[in-house]
Amino acid sequence: MSATEQIIHPAATVHPIDNLLRADRFPHILCPGCGIGTVIHGYAHAIAASGLSEDRHVCVSGIGCSGRAAGYVNVDSYHSTHGRALPFALGIAVHKPELNVTVISGDGDLTAIGGNHLIHAARRNVNLNVICINNFNYGMTGGQVGPTTPVGAKGSTAPRGAVEQPFNLPYLAKATGAAFVARWTVLHVREFQDAVLRAMNKNGFSFIEVLAPCPTSFGRANNIGDGLHEVEIYRERCVIENGAQNLEELDIDLIDASKPITVGNFVDIDRKPFIE
Amino acid sequence: MSEAESNVRREPMDLAKAQVPVGRVHIISERCKQCNFCINYCPTKVLEYSPETNAKGYHFPLVAAGKETSCVHCRFCDLICPELAIFTTEMTDEDKAEFGIDGS
């Protein structure tokens, strides 16, 4: 069937969720097979499901591919400097507690240059929703090894494989005091949206790690052909374990195919929030 | 069905009443970047690549010939699409009349 014959399925021009996104900027800048678009999409659905008006939502992002997220959502959004998305969002959340502030940023921005801000925002239990898009490397700058690159995975600065122990982000977030901790992949679209919604309704620091494919940088260095191939790895090896207690054992090993990748909503506790 | 067979095959009690929704696929072809997520993860394999390309040179998905009424409106293609280039709607009565489905 050719496109000209597509009378029975006429070409649409507007997506139903376009009113929450800056659709005039689409198609976006991200590579084919990248998972960040799916995360932005899920965040938009969570805004729609939250019941709050768009004026009550704020999106803050840092620098990197994931930092582009703030430019594509049609709520008040800020594209802050590298690593400083969390202190910027903390200022908004403290000054206007009625707002629902979400930080969407990458693993390099949040845990490398912004690592100290992450642990201290979690320690203070500020009412923020942090969506950390983990693609296991510094994608925008050419695939350098970052603090989440699994041991043995290759990058442009580690052609023989990374040798450093990576961060286990759910364990880090739990240990520093986050009230809600989850890990999902871009394949778990509905679970991810539910987790974002729970984070929005939580009065406290919520941390959601999303594993996203990066075919251009991480995939090419590690013989992962395209985005679909990496998502297939998640599909084959992900194990859902909600409320898992052994977060210290949930390291991600992308090289050893026998090791499962545990996902789920791990922590949901009530702690004294920064602002009551 | 013999009695021995009925002991091993158990059917849901509301199987006769349960209705499978019929979905209609809408594709915004100019946004597609050919990541293959929708085609690969469609549970009823409704989609296939188009022979044509969009303005950026990507082969966008199309409803395969003969699969026009196979979509079950699970919305997974919509939710996983990183480009927001595809979505499904449940067929209205007019849609069903157009596709020749018994509108019940």
Q: Tens of pLDDT along B48-94?
A: 999 999 999 999 999 998 888 899 999 999 999 999 999 999 988 88
> CA–CA distance from A32 to each of A214, A217, A219, A232, B33 (Å)?
9, 12, 12, 16, 5
- If you search the block for the tokens 């603090």, which residue do you land on? A147
Instruction: Give Cα separations from B64 to A45, A138, B59 (angstroms).
Output: 28, 38, 14
pLDDT surpasses 70 at A155: yes
Q: Is the pLDDT of residue A65 over 70?
A: yes
Q: What is the DSSP letter of A127?
A: S
Cα(B2)–Cα(A207) distance, integer angstroms: 56
- Contact across the interface for B79 and A193, Cβ inside 8 Å: yes
In a domain, A276, yes or no: no
Mean pLDDT of A36-52: 94
User: Which B positions 32-91 lie with beta carbon below 8 A of chain A?
Assistant: 32-37, 40, 50-52, 56, 58, 62-65, 68, 76, 79-85, 87
Domains delineated in chain B: 20-99 (3.30.70.20)
CB–CB of B79 and A45 under 8 A? yes
What is the reported pLDDT for B2? 56
Q: State the ipTM, two decimals.
A: 0.86
Q: Is A79 contained in some domain?
A: yes
Kindly list the residues from chain A whose CB atom is less than 8 angstroms away from the CB atom of residue B50: 2-3
The verdict on residue A13 lying in a domain is: no
CA distance A229 to chain B (A): 10
Residue A10 lies in a domain: no
> Is A138 within a domain?
yes
Q: Give the chain A residue nearest B53 (alpha carbons).
A: A3
For residues A33 and A227, is the Cβ–Cβ distance under 8 A? yes
**A17, A22, A41: which to substitute to probe chain B, counting the most B Cβ within 10 Å?**
A41
In a domain, A99, yes or no: yes
Q: Which pLDDT does position A35 carry in this prediction?
A: 93
Provide the domain limits for residue A157.
32-268
CATH code where residue A110 lies? 3.40.50.970
Q: Report CA torsion sign: A265, A266, A270, A272.
A: negative
Nearest to A17 among B32, B63, B84 (CB): B84
CB A64 within 8 Å of CB A39? no
Number of domains within chain A: 1
Average predicted confidence (pLDDT) for chain A: 91
**Mean confidence (pLDDT) of chain B:** 86
- Is residue A1 included in any domain, yes or no? no
> Mean per-residue pLDDT for A85-91?
95
Closest by Cβ to B50, choosing from A3, A14, A41: A3
Residues in chain B within 8 Å Cβ distance of A1 = 62-65
Q: State the number of CA atoms in the 13 A half-sphere of A72 facing the CB.
A: 27
Which residues in chain A have Cβ-Cβ distances shorter than 8 Å to B85?
15, 27
For residue A158, being part of any structural domain is answered with yes
State how far the Cα of B15 lies from the Cα of A162, in Å rounded to an integer.
Answer: 54
State how far residue A6 is from chain B, nearest Cα, in angstroms: 9
A contacts of B81 (beta carbons < 8 Å): 37-38, 41
- pLDDT higher than threshold 50 for residue A2: no
Selected for mutation to probe chain B from A5, A20, A26 (highest B CB count within 10 Å) is: A26
